[in-house]
Structure 1
Amino acid sequence: MKRSVLFDTETTGFDPEKGDRVIEIAALELIDDMPTGEAFHVLIDPERDVPEEATRVHGFTAADLAGKPKFAAVAEGFIEFVKDSSLIAHNARFDFKFMNAELKKAGYPTLDMSRMVDTLDMARERFPGMPNSLDALCRRFGVDLSARTTHNALLDCKLLADVYVELMGGRQRGLGLTADDEQQLAGAVYSGPAHRRVIRIVPSEQELTAHHAFLEKLDNPLWSR
């Protein structure tokens, strides 16, 4: 059983070295790459103003964060939630940079970069030269974006969880099973390999063109009648 944690942050800006701070942390537990429903989510008083340009991105104002706990008060809860698990994020270097700046400021050990799994890197490798923002990946994989009006960290985590599953090879949904069927399958004993992954093969345009050219050479194939 592999445990990992998918997380996201929202901030007051782009650079902690210039005084920008974390204002929101969200994290979801994954077991064998699937969400378990266990989550960590906090809003944080950044102890500074929130620029208008940042508010336009995530929707939070300084008034929204007034009275929320400061980072030092939530750091231990975050550390306890993530434990020593791999940490998955989209453009993860940004989130690691901010979290490590905050952890260092609060007197806690920083996150080891060896724990980082960056879904942006994964997407760029799989879809080179294509848009690979979270929005673009959601549209590519058919993930519902209707609730995403701002960059809310908790919602972004839930969206990224679906995207991550697809980047790891996808999963079969539904299959037309009844509740009784699913319950019966849940209790079934699998006798195959202990670890297996469903791999979704997406043919390239060149492969599709070659396939169609091959079909054209066949004499009255059954499937074209």
Structure 2
Amino acid sequence: MLRAGYRPLTGAAPRGRGPALCDDRRMSTSGRRVGRPRAQQRPDTGMSPRQELLAAAAELFTTRGYTATTTRAVAERAGMRQASMYHYVGGKEDLLAELLESTVTPSLALAGKLLADTGRPAERRLWELCRADVALLCSEPHNLGVLYLLPEVRSDRFTSFRDARAGLKSAYAALLAATDAAAGLPPDELAVRTDLVFALIEAVILIPRPTAASLPTATADAALRITGAR
């Protein structure tokens, strides 16, 4: 999986339709108006069209590759026409941005709560963040974390994701600095330990879809051993 508190996409508003296009709003045999036809029939997932597009994009970006996936392929996989897709999202970059942010922002929100919970040992709070972060990265059907490695993610379009990820890493550093094991550490040593912990947590994206239920706990335990905390 990857890295809600994040802003939803607001794809381009649909343009008005003239009389020549009114067949998109046909009457059903029961007299009820029906929406734009789907490209193919798909089982009822209970998801909104936008959620279906995100699910389709997650599957195709992680299996076919982001560059090789067209907006037409995403729309068809979601069971709709390509033109209809733009009623819900702005395009392929918007889908990628939301998928990336979904792998970070829940952990960032949790980190804020853990930082404020100063009545408990920092070691315990750091362990909880590590465990929850790994569980999030492993929770999706498709390994969204591999999308971090795309060269496109370095562009300005994905600044929000990069900022959220940097904020999460800073929260790790703050919790680590509050542990007894970090007392007296020089800043450069603290930075090294933070880098090691953060790298360990995100390394789960390199495991081919881990299924072991114990992985989040085992990784959190290993992260604390790296810091020297008990």
Give TM-score, length-normalised by structure 2: 0.22
Higher relative contact order, chain-length normalized (CA < 8 Å, sep 6+): 2
Q: Which has the higher strand share?
A: 1
Give TM-score, length-normalised by structure 1: 0.23
